[in-house]
Amino acid sequence: MHIPEIDRDDCLRVLSELVQIKSYSQTSGEVDATNFIAERMREIGLETALHPFEDGKRQNAVGTWRGTAHATGPGSKPNGSLLFNGHLDTNPVSEGWTVDPWEGKIDDKFIYGIGVSNMKSGCAAYYCAVKTLKASGWQPRHDVTLTYVVGELQGGVGTMALIDEGRIDEGTADYFINCEPSDIRAVTMHAEALHFEIDLIGVTRHMSAREEAADAIMAACVLVPRLSSMTFRGARSPDHEKCNRCSVGVVHGALGRDLEGWRPAQVSDFCTLAGSSRYAPGQTQDSVLADMRRVVEEAVSQFPGMTFELRQRFEPTMPAFEVSPESEVVRSLNRAYRDIRGEDQPTGVLAPTCFYGSDAGHLYARLGMQGIVCGPGGRYNTRPDEKVDIPDYLDCIKMFIRVIKDICG
């Protein structure tokens, strides 16, 4: 099939302009970013709409390129249609940056900026793929839908809003590509994400009598490495077990539930741990919490008089996702990668992406879509001087062009 050439400078310009929009999650910058991409979609002739949610404070943008065989009416399901999904909200800037996070700086190797990896480069890639195809005069037989959401960093609330409101449903597309950063590898499974808190409740004494105490901080020191080494029951296969991970990211110990820190001469009787567990399709939140409970019980049993509380920290939990490596969307992406790079695309349950939570989980769990997680960025994700390899970004656009022509043509 004929593949149009991409305009390298234009593709980099679009991404640079998107990075220049300060779209911190849960701020008005989200509106600026979705307005920007909606205007770009209108400029190239897509049916475009903005969909507010959370009482109009936030919004998603959706653009549709109608195929010549578009079906309408209740229960209609186009055959060979494709949906792209990505989020425009970003994490905040941390300490340690040496370049302007919002410049959208481009040098001979990288494009830089907050959110460029997670995940504005993926969002720009599928827009540029569609723009290139439209400019070439090619027309799809089946629909191509571009979704730009916010709130992925709060558990995928933007994609959930599109589903809840019927903006996308089972009839919207047969396949999806979620463009979370994977270094353009094809990720066929990722974990469900469960955020948790554990309170360790001990017995305080003055340090002179610490032998009589049940030290909550010491208990945390025993517990954290045990949690970090956990896998969970019920994995369907060794590949599924690859998605298992538990990590503690917050430890705060002091006196009482208010964690009073002004009296360090007393043994801590309270310590709060917060973290996240990741587990595969087929494993359940209840069984994971039960496994964690047993590990906590074993740790605190070494400290007579100590009790604990374990709970989910916040909802929603992002669902797990999986797809057969033999799915047509996976095979199409694999063919595109080989065509561009002359080698097989890494495909499967691939770290670190298999530990991500992503909106792919909602599309899979809520709508039953077959899909794949694949996007530029990853190795320099969510860190000072966040950046994306320019060849990965441009090759991703070329891959998406081929997949659109293959699936929707």
pLDDT at 290: 97
Give pLDDT tens digits for 93-145. 999 999 999 999 999 999 999 999 999 999 999 999 999 999 999 999 999 99
Q: Average of pLDDT values for 70-93? A: 76
pLDDT at 76: 46
116: helix, coil or strand? helix
Give pLDDT tens digits for 271-280. 999 999 999 9
Taking CA atoms, 162 is separated from 50, 51, 262, in Å, by: 11, 8, 48
- State the chain's mean pLDDT as an integer: 95
Q: What b-and-e string marks burial along 181-202, b requiring 16 or more CB atoms within 10 Å of the CB?
A: bbbbbbbbbbbbbbbbebebbb
List Cβ neighbours of 191 (8 Å cut-off, separation of 6 or more): 243, 244, 245, 278, 279, 280, 320, 354, 355, 356, 357
Q: Average of pLDDT values for 68-87? A: 71
Give pLDDT tens digits for 154-198. 989 999 999 999 999 999 999 999 999 999 999 999 999 899 999
Q: Average of pLDDT values for 77-99? A: 90
Give pLDDT tens digits for 145-156. 999 999 998 989
Ordered domains of the chain (ranges, CATH): 8-189+320-408 (3.40.630.10), 192-312 (3.30.70.360)
Question: Read out DSSP for 245-300?
Answer: EEEEEEEEEEBTTTTB-S-TTBPP-EEEEEEEEEE-TT--HHHHHHHHHHHHHHHH
CA R_g for the chain: 24
Q: Average of pLDDT values for 43-56? A: 98
Q: Average of pLDDT values for 347-361? A: 94
Confidence of residue 75 (pLDDT cuts 50, 70, 90): very low
Give pLDDT tens digits for 7-44. 999 999 999 999 999 999 999 999 999 999 999 999 99
pLDDT at 74: 38
Q: Beta strand pairing status for 47-53 and 307-312? A: unpaired
Confidence of residue 77 (pLDDT cuts 50, 70, 90): very low
HSE-CB of 37 using CA atoms within 13 angstroms: 39
87 φ/ψ angles, rounded to the nearest 5 degrees: -110, 145
With a pLDDT cut of 70, the percent of the chain lying above it is: 97
pLDDT at 35: 98
Confidence of residue 79 (pLDDT cuts 50, 70, 90): low
Confidence of residue 340 (pLDDT cuts 50, 70, 90): very high
**Is the predicted pLDDT of residue 71 greater than 60, yes or no?**
no
pLDDT at 70: 56
**Is the predicted pLDDT of residue 329 greater than 50, yes or no?**
yes
**Is the predicted pLDDT of residue 346 greater than 50, yes or no?**
yes
Confidence of residue 316 (pLDDT cuts 50, 70, 90): low
pLDDT at 78: 44
With a pLDDT cut of 90, the percent of the chain lying above it is: 93
